[in-house]
Amino acid sequence: MSLPNNKKLSILYTLQILKDYSDEKHLLSQNEIAKKIYNLYGMECERKSIGTNIDSLIDFGYDIVKNSSGCFLASREFETSEIRFLIDAVFSSKSIDSRHSRELANKLSNLLSSYQRKQYKYIYKADELNRTNNKELFYNIDIINEAIEKNKQIQFEYNRFCYKENNKKKKPYIVNQYCLINNQGKYFLVCNYDYFDEIGNYKLERIHNIKILDTDIKPIKQVKGFENGLDIAKYANENIYMFATNSVNATIQIYDDWATAYVEEWFGKNATFYEKDNKIYADVVANESSLIYWCLQYGEVIELITPITTREKIKDILKEMSKRYN
What is the SS3 assignment for the chain? Answer: CCCCCCHHHHHHHHHHHHHHHCECCECECHHHHHHHHHHHHCCCCCHHHHHHHHHHHHHHCCCEEEECCEEEECCCCCCHHHHHHHHHHHHHCCCCCHHHHHHHHHHHHCCCCHHHHHHHHHHHHHHHCCCCCCCCHHHHHHHHHHHHHHCEEEEEEECCCCCCCCCCCCCCEEEEEEEEEEECCEEEEEEEECCCCCEEEEEHHHEEEEEEEEEECCCHHHCCCCCCCCCHHHHHHHCCCCCCCCEEEEEEEECCHHHHHHHHHHHHHHCEEEEECCEEEEEEEEEHHHHHHHHHHCCCCEEEEECHHHHHHHHHHHHHHHHHHC
CATH class of 7-73: mainly alpha
* Fold of the CATH domain 247-325: Alpha-Beta Plaits (3.30.70)
C-alpha to C-alpha distance for 129 and 280, rounded to whole angstroms? 40
**What are the boundaries of each domain within the chain?**
7-73, 83-113+123-128, 137-230, 247-325
Q: What is the pLDDT of residues 102-160, one digit of tens each?
A: 788 788 888 888 877 776 665 555 455 445 666 788 888 899 999 999 999 999 998 87
Fold identical between 7-73 and 247-325? no
CA distance 7 to 63: 23
Over the stretch 207-252, which tens digit does the pLDDT of each residue have?
A: 989 999 999 999 999 888 888 888 888 888 777 777 766 789 999 9
Q: Quick: pLDDT tens for 63-102.
A: 999 998 899 999 888 888 888 788 777 776 767 777 777 7
